[in-house]
Amino acid sequence: MFAEMFENVRKTCPLIHNITNYVTVNDCANMVLACGASPIMADDKDEVEEITTICTGLNINIGTLNARTIESMLLAGKKANELSHPVVLDPVGAGASALRTQTAFKLLEQVKFTVIRGNISEIKTLAVGAGTTKGVDADVSDRVTEENLDEAVSFAKAFAAKARCVVAITGAIDIVADANTAYCIRNGHPMMSSITGTGCQLSALTAAFVAANLNQPLQAAAAAVCAMGLAGEIAHSRLTEMDGNSTYRNYIIDAIYRLTPEALEKGARYEVR
C-alpha cells in the first residue's frame, strides 16, 4: 500500500506551497524535490492565497513565526480549505512560548488541517494546552516508549478525533493516527535528532504524500513517516567514522531521492493498533 502512495507522488508531482521557517527551508525544498514533488515557498499576505491556489497542498510550519507570516499562514490555510487542498501543520516549539502556543491554537480554530505533525511535547501542548517542551525538542518525560505506547496511541487517537484530522507524533517510535486507527512505526535512527529540521522535512514530505493521495490521508501520512525513517536508516548505513550530522543530513535527502516505492514497501516497519 505504501508503495502505491509513493508512486502517486512520483506520478502526479504535486506542487506544495510551504510557509515555513528560514532555518530548515532549504532542506524542506530539497526533500520535496527528492520525493518527486515540487516546492514553492511564499509567505507574503499579498500572494499566499494565489500561490496556494496554483498548488495542490499546503504545509504550514511555525518554526520562525512572526506577525507578518502568521497572517499569511491564516490566509493561505483558509484559501486551501476553500479549495479542499490538504493542509499540514507543523507546530514547531508549541509550548515553548505563548506566541507559538497561541498561534497554533489560532490556526487550529481557523483552518481545518489534514495532518498535524509534531513531536510528543508539541502535540501534548495542542491537546491539553500544556507540554514540557524543551525548546524545539520533545521533553524526555513526554517521550513515547514501548512501555507507554498503548497510552500514547489512545492519546493520539483521542486528539485526532478532537482535531478531526490525522495526527503524526514522531520520535523514537512514531504514531500516525486518526480517530480509529494508529500506525506505530519503528523506522528511523536516533542520530536523526542530531540534525536540525528532520521534523520540518518530514512535514513537507507528508504534505507531498497527502496531496498525491487525497482520499487516504492516514495511510499517506504513515507512508511519509515510514519513508523518512527508512531514509534515516539507509543514510546512517552509509556514514563513515569521519561523517557527522551534516553529511547525514545530505544522505537522508539523497536516500529519499533514491528510494523506490518497492523499497519503501519492503522497508516499512509498522503495526496497526
Site for a second copy in 21-50 (CB under 8 A): 21-27, 29-30, 33-34, 38-44, 46-47, 50
State phi, psi for 36 to the nearest 5 degrees. Answer: 110, 0
Confirm whether residue 197 is marked as ligand binding: yes
Residues 79-108 that bind a second copy (CB under 8 A): 93, 96-100
Q: Is the dihedral of CA 222, 224, 227, 232 positive or negative?
A: negative
Range in contact with a second copy (rule: CB under 8 A) among 16-24, 113-121, 203-211, 221-229: 16-24
Would you say 49 or 181 has its CB closer to a second copy? 49
By CB under 8 A, is residue 141 in contact with a second copy?
no
Spatial CB neighbours of 175, under 8 Å, sequence gap ≥ 6:
144, 149, 152, 153, 156, 167, 168, 169, 182, 183, 184, 185
Contact letters for a second copy, residues 191-210 (x by CB under 8 A): ---xxxx-------------
Cα separation, 35 vs 52, whole angstroms: 20
Looking at 1, 11, 66, 130, which residue binds a second copy (CB under 8 A)? 66
Give the nearest distance from C-beta 22 to a second copy in angstroms: 4
Contact segment (CB under 8 A) with a second copy among 20-28, 160-168, 176-184, 218-226 equals 20-28
Closer CB to a second copy, residue 80 or residue 96? 96
Count the site residues for a second copy by CB under 8 A.
Answer: 64
The residue range among 128-136, 142-150, 151-159, 217-225 that interacts with a second copy, by the rule CB under 8 A, is: 128-136
